[in-house]
Amino acid sequence: MMQENKLISFHRMLINDAVRTAAYRDAIFATVRPGDVVLDVGSGSGVLALFAAQAGAGHVHCVERHAIIRVARELAEANGFANRISFHQCDIRALELDGPVDLIQSELISKAAIGEQMAELVGWCRDRFLRPGGALLPPSVDMFVAPVELAALAARISLPAFETYGLDFGPLATRNSNAPVSTRIQPEEVIAPGQICYRYDAATAPLTDSFDAALVFEVSEARTLTGFTIWFETELAPGILLGNAPPGTGSWDHLFFALPYPLALTRGDCVELRISGRDDSAMEWLVRWDTRIVRGGIEIAAHRQSTFHGGLPIAERVTAPA
Amino acid sequence: MTIELHTMLHRHGDLLVQPIDDDLVMADIQSGKYFGLTDTARAIWDLLDQPATPAAICDALAESHNVDRATCEHDVLAFLRDLQGEGLVRAAG
């Protein structure tokens, strides 16, 4: 669990991301109708709940499992909304409400779109508390993936050659290239336009974020492929867009999914990517990316990678058949 | 289809596999499950590297494990049926 001092700095960063915060405020004002009952899932510091109250909600329920909900309560009191916001510090599955809600709002979007169990947490509430015809914010989230050239970062995260220390880092190298790195990617580092690999639809999504996409990126100029990145785009309300396409926003940077080694591409090469993944409480954020580079119809490189191979599986999450 | 001693079996599913010490840890993105195979379970999984029948697996285990044939067949069949239930093995053909 995140230490409280880190929680404060984390939520300060979120609030200070003007792109994020203003977009959510605009969307909440466009969505909330006077008197609405709103459920704010994963409230954090409660800023989105405060916006809902400002927008005229009759009552807002905040549900948050971390102690940061104390800050949300303090902010509600300081802003005169304490009588219209109630606070539930609990796991979402323990939440009990005395009636349906008109709107479920959340910001459970990770830098790679999924990874905060958005589908499971929002879906759980949707299926229990949302009145028929009620609204969900965000209504959908698109997940994009694109090949990138990050030569400096690729060099920085590589391991020492044998000659440096007289040690073979080979076994760590495999884990290293399967462990995504958080970084900030610039538009010019994107080799080909991003393509959608997953669309989360809040109204209909099952309780698992799960995707499996086969994509082809055509290379238009000589570049060096070092890996891939993922970002999200969403239309929070009609005309109110939010996303972290490179260069990202103040609080959302990017994940870099490295290839084992850089690959020189020429114009006309095809980067074939099969990317699949899953995120829920049973299998927290697992992504697999299989890459194939084709030149003139001939395969010149192929890699199979996954975050599973970038980590050390925890024994208690393993269930052996009897 | 119930697995019997002479049912030809093969591994099924696009699993992510990682050896940890002497064990095998596997992740199935489709089902959202992790599996850990230890000791004899791993040995049986390794023997399914190529399609095989439970009888053939028992032949191989009899050489490497000190177990009587009836117990071996009973336990191997039970384990393989569990794997089938998890979608990890299928009958060939």
The distance of B85 to chain A (nearest Cα, Å) reads 9
Distance CA A19, CA B43 (A): 55
Contacts of B85 in chain A (CB under 8 A): 321
Q: Do B83 and A321 touch (CB under 8 A)?
A: yes
**Residue A122 and residue A93 in contact, taking contact as beta carbons nearer than 8 Å:** no
Cβ of A286 within 8 Å of Cβ of B27? The answer is yes
Q: What does the pLDDT look like over B35-78, one tens digit per residue?
A: 999 889 999 999 999 999 999 999 999 888 888 889 999 999 99
Q: Which amino acid is located at A82 in the chain?
A: A
Asked whether the beta carbons of A141 and A200 are under 8 A apart, the reply is yes
* Class of residue A272 by CB neighbours under 10 A (exposed 0-12, middle 13-18, buried 19+): middle
Amino acid A222: pLDDT: 97
Instruction: Write out the catalytic residue numbers of A.
Output: 107, 116
For every one of its 322 residues, what pLDDT tens digit does chain A have, with 9 covering 90 and above? 556 678 888 889 899 999 999 999 999 999 999 999 999 999 999 999 999 999 999 999 999 999 999 999 999 999 999 999 999 999 999 999 999 999 999 999 999 999 999 999 999 999 999 999 999 999 999 999 999 999 888 888 888 989 999 999 988 888 899 999 999 999 999 999 999 999 999 999 999 999 999 999 999 999 999 999 999 999 999 999 999 999 999 889 999 999 999 999 999 999 999 999 999 988 889 999 999 999 999 999 999 999 999 988 766 666 666 5
User: Does an H or E element contain A140, and which?
Assistant: strand A140-148
Inspect the interface and report whether the beta carbons of B82 and A322 lie closer than 8 Å. yes
In degrees and rounded to multiples of 5, residue A41 shows phi and psi of -95, 125
Spatial separation of the C-alpha atoms in residues B28 and A268, rounded to whole Å: 35
Residues from chain A that touch B82, judged by Cβ atoms under 8 A, are: 321-322
Who's near B17: CB < 8 A, 6+ residues apart?
Answer: B24, B25, B26
Name the pLDDT band for B22 (thresholds 50, 70, 90).
confident
Contact B27 A308 (CB under 8 A): yes
CB-CB under 8 Å, B27 with A283: yes
Least Cα separation, residue A88 to chain B (angstroms): 29
Cα separation, A215 vs A130, in Å, equals 36
- pTM for this entry: 0.91
pLDDT for position A283? 85
Nearest CA in chain A to B77: A322
pLDDT attached to residue A3: 62
- Taking all residues of chain B, what is their mean pLDDT, rounded to a whole number? 91
Distance in angstroms (rounded) separating the CA atoms of residues A48 and B32: 32
Q: How many CB atoms lie within 10 A of CB A297?
A: 6
Q: Using 50, 70 and 90 to split pLDDT, how confident is the model at B13? A: confident
**pLDDT confidence of residue A311:** 85
Q: What's the pLDDT at A153?
A: 87
CA distances from A189 to A221, A294, B37 (A): 13, 21, 42
Cβ-Cβ contacts under 8 Å, A322 against chain B: 78-79, 82
